[in-house]
Structure 1
Amino acid sequence: MAALAKTMTLLLVAMALHGVFLGAVYNVGDSAGWTIGHVDYQTWVSSKNFIVGDSLVFDYNNKFHNVKQVSEQDFETCNATSPIATHTTGSDTVTLKKLGNYYFLCGFQGHCEAGQRIQLVVGQPPRRPMPPTQLISDASASSEFTTFSFAIAFTALFC
């Protein structure tokens, strides 16, 4: 019985933490997508706070565009000849897996120079302490809080 209780506790804690650690999904360029001349990507990036686990979705016409992840130096010079990664499907998702700077550009001639490039910084997720007595009005946070509270109560009762 004790083994079952511990297994259930671990499962419930994992479920609670799953919602806490899932990243956001950002459509690069919002509804305009990854294109040339319609989006100021520097402004688009400046309104976001990227953290580890977030994903970027690049939607574009792959006959006219691509996505290349490049070094800082290649980003500054719009050099797409030695990319870290190349994406060409027209609907590519890139997960931001580590802290630091990321650089993306379109490798089609002249597109980077015309502004089809983004530089972003991935930071640490904010700490969100959730003491059991705190009232939370946000619906998603409330759901996480309820699952977490249930896991604590289950542990207290059966362990």
Structure 2
Amino acid sequence: MGKELSIALLAIAVVGLLHSTAAMETHVVGDKIGWVVPPGGQYTYESWATMHHFAVGDLLVFNFTNGDQDVARVTKEAFDNCNSTDPITLKTTSPANFTLNTTGEYYFIGTKDKHCELGQKLAINVTAEHGSPAPSPAPRGPVTYVVGDKLGWLVPGGEQAYAAWAYGKTFIVGDTLVFNIVNGTQDDVALVTKPAYENCTTNSTIAVYKNSPVSILLNTSGEHFFISTYDRHCLLGQKLAINVTSSTAQPPSAKTPSGSMAPSSPTPHGTSGPGAAHAPFSSAPSRIGSGYFTFLLIAVAAFFYWSLVTS
């Protein structure tokens, strides 16, 4: 009887270990980019976070250059104001690991000079466990999106800036895009087809708007493409692609299996045109090697079972 009880307890323990091991994930912040002052501003880490599901027990790993970077866990208020004077935790050696041991919101910033202000900040929400059903999105009314938020509509220094801004946002018919052209600059917003967007062709536009702020009602579903027609502005990253869904339809998946946005045929403002936008930062979560741990635990269980039977 003692042997049977020991075997049963061992089996229960192994099942529990297998469950917890398979569920835990390791998230490498920024994936290949790492933890840096991001070229796309704060949208870089915002878009990265939208592609990950964080649960209790997961591990967050920050990879950075020692001496040049650090990472601090802070309060929401400190995160919003980039205040690094009284962090909850400060780590200066890479890799910096944080175990997500409670549900709720976590906030991280870089404390080096102006790094947080330049976008080295990450906010995530941690749920109870992996596999829990996601809540159904509540119906909402029209939303006005200010393109680039405080950045505005300008040459951002890289194509990823506006791609990162758009990533994770849900655009539906009836929403409005507002393009704020920076005062004192000559610029415009052009609605174009996919080929014009991809090739930065400025002499074949659907519509051009010059008076800031430019307000564009998204009155049709499909993918919409915007560029600046001024010299080399589009080539330098002043371009935006978004996907607009019907207000009654479920939004499409943010990624196909390869990590790119699902294509559709845009009909911006009543004008048909083929096209699909390029998706920014298409990396999946880095998972713990559950297969290896499963094999190891089964081997341990087999060893103990053999010991109990032959003793």
* TM more than 0.5: yes
* TM-score (ref. length: structure 1): 0.76
Give 1:38 shift: 4.1
Can you list the C-alpha shifts for 1:104-140, whole angstroms capped at 9, x where unaligned? 0101011111111100000021259xxxxxxxxxx96
Runs of 4+ in structure 1 over 2 Å off: none
Partner of 1:18: 17
Count of residues paired in the alignment: 134
1:42-57 mapped onto 2 (5 Å cutoff) = 42-57=46-61
Rg comparison, structure with higher value: 2
What SS does structure 2 have at the residue aligned with 1:30?
A: coil
Percent identity between the aligned chains? 30
Q: Counterpart amino acid of 2:33?
A: A
Partner of 1:34: 35
**Whole-angstrom distance in 1 between the partners of 2:3 and 2:39:** 57
Please identify, of 83-92 and 6-15, the stretch whose mean Cα deviation from structure 2 is larger: 6-15
1:92 paired with 2:91, answer no
CA contact (8 A) 1:56 1:95 kept: yes
1:110 paired with 2:114, answer yes
Give 1:5 shift: 1.8
More helix by percentage = 1
What SS does structure 2 have at the residue aligned with 1:121?
A: strand
**Whole-angstrom distance in 1 between the partners of 2:88 and 2:106:** 10
Q: Counterpart amino acid of 1:49?
A: H
**Whole-angstrom distance in 2 between the partners of 1:127 and 1:46:** 17
Q: Counterpart amino acid of 1:26?
A: H
Q: Counterpart amino acid of 2:59?
A: S
RMSD: 2.4
**Whole-angstrom distance in 1 between the partners of 2:60 and 2:106:** 11
**Whole-angstrom distance in 2 between the partners of 1:14 and 1:75:** 41
Partner of 2:2: 3
Can you list the C-alpha shifts for 1:72-97, whole angstroms capped at 9, x where unaligned? 11001000110000111121111100
